[in-house]
A and B are shown apart, each in its own frame.
Chain A
Amino acid sequence: NAGVMQNPRHLVRRRGQEARLRCSPMKGHSHVYWYRQLPEEGLKFMVYLQKENIIDESGMPKERFSAEFPKEGPSILRIQQVVRGDSAAYFCASSRSGEGESPLHFGNGTRLTVT
C-alpha cells in the first residue's frame, strides 16, 4: 500500500522556466493538500483540492502558480516563469476526507532549486 508519492524528488530550473510538481495521493484518498516550506521557515498551506475541484486556494500566490487534481492521474502544482524566491520544498499530503479527524499522510516532498 504505497504512501503519498511525489516526484520529482529534486528539481532544478533556471529563472523563467516552468516547474511541474506531481503528487499521487494514497489509494482511496480523494483530498490533496499542497504546502510550501521556504528555507529556514515553517510550512505554509498553499491549496486544497478534491478530484476536479479546488476547495481552498487562499495560500497560493496570485500569479504564476496553479494547481489541479484531475479525475485521472496525479495532482499537479505548476509554477510558471520561476524566480529564485520560488526555491523551496513543496510537500503534498492526502486524506480520505476533508474533516478535521481524518489523518493526513505526507509525501517526501519536492525540493525545487531555481538558479
Chain B
Amino acid sequence: KNEVEQSPQNLTAQEGEFITINCSYSVGISALHWLQQHPGGGIVSLFMLSSGKKKHGRLIATINIQEKHSSLHITASHPRDSAVYICAVKITGSARQLTFGSGTQLTVLP
C-alpha cells in the first residue's frame, strides 16, 4: 500500500464547477504539499500545510491531521486549471524530502 493515496486518479469537469481532490496518508508527517504539473512543464508548489486551511485565489487546501487527510478545492474551475495535481508529504523524522502521491489528472472542459 502506498504511503500517500490520491483520489480520483482522473477527473473531468465543466468550466465553472467546484472541484475537490483528496489525499490520504498513512504515516506521521510534518508537512503536506500540493503541487501542480502542466503537460510537458515544470512543477509548481501550490500550498504547504501542517494544519488547518490555506487559500490562494480560487484554490483552497485543507488538512485534518487526526484523520490523515487533505483536500484541494478549486472554485469556479477554468480550462487553464487542467493539469496534474500531486499531493506530497514530508514524513516526520525523515531526511527524505517528500513522498508523492500518484497524482490526479484534472481536465476542465470549456
Contact = CB atoms under 8 A, between A and B. Distances in A.
B100 A44 contact: yes
Interface stretch (A14-22, A65-73, A74-82, A95-103): A95-103
Contacts, number: 66
Q: Give chain A's interface residue range (CB within 8 Å of chain B).
A: 20 to 34
A4 B96 CA distance: 19
Interface residues of B, number: 25
Interface stretch (B13-21, B36-44, B59-67, B68-76): B36-44
Given A103-B45, A105-B45, A106-B44, A98 B30 contact: no
Nearest to B32: A100
A45 B102 CA distance: 13
B96 A104 contact: no
Contact of B42 (A95, A98, A106): A106
A1 to B, nearest CB: 16
A89 to B, nearest CB: 9
